Amino acid sequence: MPYENEYANKSSHSDIVENPDVLAFLQECEYLREPSPEEIDRFSQRFQPLPDLNLVDLPNHIFAIDGSPYEALIDDRMPSTKVGYVKVSTIHILMEEFGALRVDDGRFVDPFRVAKLRKNKDSLLFVLPGTNMRWQGLTSVRDSFRARVDKVLLQKETRFNKEDYRSSLRSTLFRLASLRPDKMGTRSDEFLKLHQCPSCGYKGEEDLGIELIDIEEQQYCSACNKEIYPSDALRLWEEVNDYQSNISAMTRFMLAVEHMLPAHYINYLLTANFPLDQLASISFFVDGPLAIFGTCAWLSRPLMKYYHQINEKLRKEGLPNITILGLQKTGQLADYFSLVSKYIPENTVYPVDDEYRYQYIIASRDPSKVGFGDETYYGQDFLFKTASDRRFVVSIPYPFSGKGQREEGRFHKLKTEIARYPNLHRTLALIKRFETDLYTNAVIPIALAHRYTAISASPGGKVLDILSRNSFPKSNRY
């Protein structure tokens, strides 16, 4: 590590370039490569042609969700002391209003109508303790982070009814936790379980977990009498460190909120007796795959089960599935699709199967015995080439309540059967409707959500740095 104001030597890389061991190492490595003509031919045959997507009925209400984390310095003299900001935004687009954006149905849009879309957005801002920072007299960064996460999930800004804490995002966590398929599941959404106490490691009677109630009052571990919080179930505290950057834990928190928000909206609409035909006319865009990684990965199975329950309810009324999709702008699938896209016919789709993924896309990994993304994914990846030669990596919720078939080796085959996705054409038609030249292979809802959410390093990040420095009382330093 350099000293302050010490700069690297401009020629220090020369011995690396000339080192024969470096060249030998690079030549021995395997990495993502462009397929051979024979492999391309076999791959292109996996894509299935689509009907005219212009004839497909589309949802009326479009919600796009995106988030952005940032760590700000409290003082330039103490670069190890930071505070975290997590912003998650939802933008709402009415299909009829979007249709009126174009001028005389041409290529150009009315900028004043586009500007009105900014009014149909809502943002949640979460402020979290970062490195070397304690909150409300708690004894460590980890305990402060735990307490603050629970506080912000319960805060009025996450509630649909400001006076009813049961309409908060934290109560949605209870709803999802009750659907866990293992011993951590509970008998109702009034309870959830922690796998252990973060303070003493107690795992409950017979190691069956510690049961918490959905109440506002503070709850305590029966073994050590230390504070425990319902949001400890997300296990974010396991990644919090007193002395290093906690941007990883903040990013995990942000992604968990992004994926919980569609369920949060749907749960409230059902509680409020929202008409089912109107519920079926809603669509949610999520940035990234329908998957949750890290300590929060257990949320993937409850989300999969929850959406299956909702769709079963809709199907019984003769209504289409609710449309939920994830869009991946980057990553291995996006890179591979970019390599081969010029060989793929337009207006086609391919459900990515495990066999091809492990052989060509993530060949550096051994195939999982229970299938790709068993612990993390709750949606199937599709590669979609539009009629306008754009490409999208799309995720759609699995059409099952669980992954029970994986033990027989059937799930990884069933999940790629297109006939099991009744909302596939509707989802792809929606992407086609919103594709834009604004960015490469972009859709307007995600682009707008990102625009109003992303905290740029400059000037946005600089402003948060200044705010943090000027707002943090010097008397609170320890």
Both structure tokens of 347: 């207006």
Give the per-residue pLDDT at 307. Answer: 97
| Closest alpha carbon to 287 in 88, 58, 53 | 88
DSSP characters for 182-229? STT--SSTTEEEESS-TTT----GGG--EEEES-SS-EE-TTT--EE-
Both structure tokens of 141: 């960064």
Residue that is written with structure tokens 């949802």 in the block? 59
Give the per-residue pLDDT at 132. Answer: 73
Does 466 have pLDDT greater than 50?
A: no
**Cα-based torsion angle of the residue sequence 382, 339, 48, 306 in order, rounded to the nearest 10 degrees:** 0
Share of the chain above pLDDT 90, in %: 46
Buried b or exposed e, range 397-436, using 16+ CB within 10 angstroms: bbbbbebeebeeeebbeebbeeeebebbbbbbbbbbbbbe
Give the per-residue pLDDT at 461. Answer: 43
- Region 351-372: mean pLDDT is 85
Residue 433 pLDDT level (bands cut at 50, 70, 90): confident
DSSP characters for 5-20? T----TTTTHHHHT-H
The number of beta carbons lying within 10 Å of the beta carbon of residue 205 is 10
Q: Are 36 and 336 in contact (CB under 8 A)?
A: no
Does 175 have pLDDT greater than 80?
A: yes
Instruction: Give the E-state strand segments of 329-414 in sequence order.
Output: 348-351, 379-385, 391-397
Q: Are 63 and 449 in contact (CB under 8 A)?
A: no
Q: Are 312 and 353 in contact (CB under 8 A)?
A: no
Q: Are 424 and 418 in contact (CB under 8 A)?
A: yes
- How far apart are the C-alpha atoms of 242 and 143, rounded to whole Å? 10
Does 407 have pLDDT greater than 80?
A: no
Q: Can you give the pTM of this predicted structure?
A: 0.86
